[in-house]
Amino acid sequence: MFFKQFKVEGLGCLSYMVGCPRVSQALVIDPKRDIQEYLETASAEKMKIVGIIETHVHADHVSGALELQNETGAPVYIGEGTPVTYQARFLREGEVISFGSVKVEVLTTPGHTPHAISLAVSDLSRGEMVELLLTGDLLFVGSVGRPDLAGRELLEEQIDSLYRSLHEKLGRFEEQVEVYPAHGAGSACGKGISAKLSSTLGYERKTNPYLGLDLTSFRKEIKEAIPRRPKNFTHVIETNLKGAKSLKRLNPVYHLEVSDIRKAMEKDFALIDLREAACFGGAHIPGSINIGMAPSSPSWLADVVEPERHLVLIATDEAEAREAVTMFRRVGYDNIYGYCVGIMNWVLAGEETGFLPQISIHGLHRILGKYPNHTLLDVRTREEWEEGHTEQALHLPIHDLLEEEGIQHLPEDRDAHISVICKSGYRSNIAASYLKSKGYTNVYSVIGGMSAWMKRSDTA
């Protein structure tokens, strides 16, 4: 049996190919939107993709199921009752898909979503025993799937379903069975997911904090652990229910002239600056948000900008812009108007620029000593805050700041002086540029963040 895991860095999305080289056939499970990697793998292994299985309707990323179907002609399978509006074949409890040495048994495992499934995979060349479980968003390494995506009115039912699926549906499998989930660390579909990409049922039963609980305790712990819901989740769910538009049918993304950017600004398009913090701080197009290019950039975009909004990207080079387009389309941002490389053309056209001062921890220390009314905004998580913070700081996690009412916690005076600090400087630049876009004029970002602050005795 052929088996391969595919990972999307930053998003924590995991997809799979299961195949039998002897009969030259393969299945793809939970494909990402850009499908070239699956096509190349199948070609290299001399296998034909004969089926595409979705374990559930994804909320955090746009599925590549229909994209892959258009390229291969393979049918799309999904759990029975899933309210998709595209043509799919529905899988029922106990149904088996077999070819060559591969046997895939369907388990209905609701909880993360009402119609979710898991897949029990056997390699018949080695025996009938189940070798691995593709658990979708039911069981993660070190965590379990969030149960709130179907709506608050179904939350209690979903939590109970999640518990039963974990204990009853997976309960019949041996300790040594390997677990391969649809997400790893970085995903918003569960809290506290391990960075490990796979596990075993035995290890999870002994170490996963949710598997040793009775139902009453499980309900309590799950409710307290539900992560915040990013801005793009509803949009992505709706997109996946109807089937994503083919990438080939989306508007091409071109290099923009200064006049194009002016028009975009008049239409209130979102300007996303992908450059590193120092470049953005030195000069940027007013109103732009600095989301530095990184594997986590799509997740941060989903926290800042509504997915229906049109985007203009400001990149370091064309390759970076093209990569960002792929990354952002994975999470449902299809309205990308275009990009520019740097802002020199903007500057030479005589247009106004903004700047975001980058101050060191030593500069911050002097400012706080001289100006007691200076606002130091710490945008780290609650857990990071509790590990250590400065007494002068106002704690407002970045996700709370980016909510509609977030800035109400800050001084009403938009000319107030505010320094923003995080762990290293990445999140502080997102938050500070967001405040600048909201009209705050005297905002600073602390380079090195609390990591640098805690290492210097003269700032303690």
Q: For the segment 154-169, what is each residue's pLDDT rounded down to a tens digit?
A: 999 999 999 999 999 9
Residues 432-436, mean pLDDT to the nearest whole number: 96
For range 272-301, the mean pLDDT: 96
- Examine the pLDDT at 71 and tell me if it is beyond 60: yes
Distance between CA atoms of residues 159 and 110, nearest Å: 9
216 SS3 class? helix
45-63 pLDDT, tens digit each: 999 999 999 999 999 999 9
Choosing among 3.30.9.60, 3.40.109.10, 3.30.930.10, 3.40.250.10, the CATH entry for 358-459 is: 3.40.250.10
* CATH 3.30.70.260 assigned to 2-237: no
For the entire predicted model, the pTM comes to 0.92
Domain chopping of the chain, boundaries:
2-237, 250-348, 358-459
Instruction: Say how far apart CA 410 and CA 429 lie, in whole Å.
Output: 17
For the CA atoms of 255, 257, 259, 262, the dihedral, rounded to the nearest 10 degrees, stands at 60
Please state, in angstroms and rounded to a whole number, the distance separating the CA atoms of residues 198 and 183. Answer: 10
How far is the CA of 195 from the CAs of 9, 186, 453, 459, in angstroms? Answer: 11, 8, 27, 33
How confident is the model at residue 457, as a pLDDT?
56
Q: Which of 185, 177, 99 is nearest to 142 (CA)?
A: 185
Distance of alpha carbon 239 from alpha carbon 245, whole angstroms: 8
Write the pLDDT tens digit of every residue in 365-420: 999 989 888 999 999 999 999 999 988 899 999 999 998 788 899 999 999 999 99
Q: Could you tell me the strand order of the sheet in which 130-136 lies?
A: 96-99, 102-108, 117-123, 130-136, 178-181, 199-200
Chain centroid, CA 127 distance in Å: 37
Helix (H, G, I), strand (E, B) or coil at 421: strand
**362 Cβ contact list (under 8 Å, min separation 6):** 456, 458, 459
Tell me the pairing of strands 143-144 and 139-140.
antiparallel
Amino acid at 299: S
User: What pLDDT, on the 0 to 100 scale, is given for residue 279?
Assistant: 95
Question: Which fold is adopted by the domain 250-348?
Answer: Oxidized Rhodanese; domain 1 (3.40.250)
Q: Please work out, in degrees rounded to the nearest 5, the angle formed at the alpha carbon of residue 247 by the alpha carbons of 246 and 249.
A: 70
Task: Determine the pLDDT at residue 186.
Answer: 86
Residue 143 has pLDDT above 60, yes or no: yes
Q: What's the pLDDT score for residue 22?
A: 96
* pLDDT per position as a tens digit, 174-230: 999 999 999 999 898 988 999 999 999 999 999 999 999 999 999 999 999 888 888
Mean pLDDT of the chain: 95
Sign of the torsion formed by the C-alpha atoms of 31, 37, 40 and 45: negative
Query: 254-264: per-residue pLDDT in tens?
Result: 999 999 999 99
Asked whether this chain's domains 2-237 and 358-459 adopt the same fold, the reply is no
8: pLDDT strictly greater than 70:
yes
Residue pair 109/118 in contact (Cβ under 8 Å)? The answer is yes
In degrees rounded to 5, what are phi and psi of residue 142?
85, 0
Structure tokens at 246: 């083919």
Q: Where do we find the tokens 């897949």?
A: 119
- Residues near 33 by Cβ (< 8 Å), separated by ≥ 6? 61, 62, 63, 64, 67, 244, 247, 329, 330
3-state class of 160 per DSSP?
helix
* Percent of the chain whose predicted confidence (pLDDT) is above 90: 90
Q: Is the separation of the CB atoms in 191 and 246 below 8 Å?
A: no
CA distances (Å), origin 186, targets 62, 64, 180: 16, 20, 16
Q: What pLDDT sits at residue 152?
A: 86
Rounded CA-CA distance 24/46 in Å is 6
* pLDDT band per the 50, 70, 90 thresholds, residue 458: low
Q: What pLDDT score was predicted for residue 381? A: 93
